[in-house]
Structure 1
Amino acid sequence: MAAGRSSRFGPQCKLQTVYRGKPLVRHAADAIIQTGLPSIAVIADPDVEGLLPEFRIVRCCGTQSQSLQAGLSQVRDNAAMIVLGDMPNIDADIIRKIAAAPGPAALWDGTRICPPASIPRALFTRIFSLTGDVGARDLLRSLPDLNRVQVPSHLLKDIDHRRDLDEDLSS
């Protein structure tokens, strides 16, 4: 599970913000735990560590690419599953579908490619060459063999701004 600095959300740590009865980060964390997959969390805010007792913690206060690289550097398996801590609609079944797909895989709603994404070790070198505030999205889009697991658009919702919480609660 990867997490950045959440600067668009404002001064409060978004991953600690209560959403649907629990801290936002616990939605993704609970889905990951239910899969039984090994669990590493890359966190920028040390206060989030206490919310993730089941995870091996990697601290990184850098850019998206640095956060992704910090997590991948801890992976010993032949692939990594990237799950973001601010996507509350992702559940264990979706993560399992991505994990079961051969080769690189990501969610797709017919328009957008989004995490969770499975990244084979063969692509780690390309991710380690990324710089700045970018993740693996462009790399995934460029792969002709990317397995696109289609889901409804609402499952790809992420919380970037405080208004994203308000929009969801009002609908």
Structure 2
Amino acid sequence: MTSTDAPRARLAAVLLAGGASRRFGPDNKLLAGIGGMPLVRRVALHILDAGIDDVIVVTGAEHDAYVQALDRLPVRFVANPVWDEGMGGSIAAGVRLVRDNADGVFIVPGDLPNLTDALFRCLAHEFEAHGGHKIVVPVTSDGAQRNPVLWPRSAFAALAGLNGARGGKSLLDTLGGERLDVVFDDATLFADIDTQADFDRFTAGASFTAGTSPISGTSK
């Protein structure tokens, strides 16, 4: 399969947009403009361009602002009422809305501007190649775990039971035997924006990877 092929598996994505981005300062980092659009919209478009069947956006602090930022995109929204208790509740809220026919779900932090549609397709290909039963984890060439992680249906119940600060990594620590690592040589794909300094670096043109660039991921 080439990086331009849409996934054959029925896949969903939970796009996490429920935090308060306190480290960024007074503004919301996911609503900050990058490449002429809010950061969260940039990420959502790459998910949709990859042919993901269903995108669920989990909001918290600023629900209406996210609805406006993602106007006219074919996404669904869910507000997490306990968003300030940690990422686990947001993951759970999103996974509970995944449709019954989904084979897998991506958990996608909203602050990763260099994600590409080709990266999502590459991970989906590895998921399909291994029967749709593995937890597909992108890693850097030095073995560092990154996001987004693609979870099979067998893990949905565990994801839906997360709460507080317990994110998906807490499950990876216990489900290691079901994990498939996919190595990406370009670590900048996974750069995130946490602070105003990070944002200034990205808007200055550093560390960007075009969404149409070919992606080569090697499973191990």
Q: Does the pair score TM above 0.5?
A: yes
Unmatched segments (≥5 aa) in structure 2: 1-14, 128-133, 207-220
1:47-91 Cα shifts (integer Å, max 9, x gaps)? 011122321111125120010001000012121111221101001
Q: Which amino acid aligns with 2:199?
A: L
1:26-56 Cα shifts (integer Å, max 9, x gaps)? 2211101102211111122220111223211
- In 1, Cα distance between equivalents of 2:160 and 2:45: 28
Aligned to 1:50: 68
**Greater mean alpha carbon deviation, residues 124-133 or residues 150-159:** 124-133
Deviation at 1:145, TM superposition (A): 3.1
**Aligned alpha-carbon RMSD (Å):** 1.8
Aligned to 2:170: 138
Aligned to 2:50: 35
**Greater mean alpha carbon deviation, residues 150-159 or residues 160-169:** 160-169
TM-score, length-scaled by structure 1: 0.90
Q: Could you tell me the percent identity over the aligned residues?
A: 30
Equivalent of 2:34 in 19, 42, 59: 19
- Contact (CA 8 Å) 2:93, 2:160: kept in 1 or not? no
Aligned to 2:23: 8
Larger radius of gyration: 2
Unmatched segments (≥5 aa) in structure 1: none
Equivalent of 1:116 in 128, 138, 148: 148
- In 2, Cα distance between equivalents of 1:170 and 1:31: 19
Residue correspondences, number: 171
2:110 matches 1:96: no
User: 1:163–1:141: structure 2 CA closer, same or farther, 3 Å change rule?
Assistant: farther
TM-score, length-scaled by structure 2: 0.71
- In 2, Cα distance between equivalents of 1:104 and 1:88: 23
- Contact (CA 8 Å) 1:98, 1:116: kept in 2 or not? no
- In 1, Cα distance between equivalents of 2:167 and 2:43: 18
**Greater mean alpha carbon deviation, residues 129-138 or residues 39-48:** 129-138
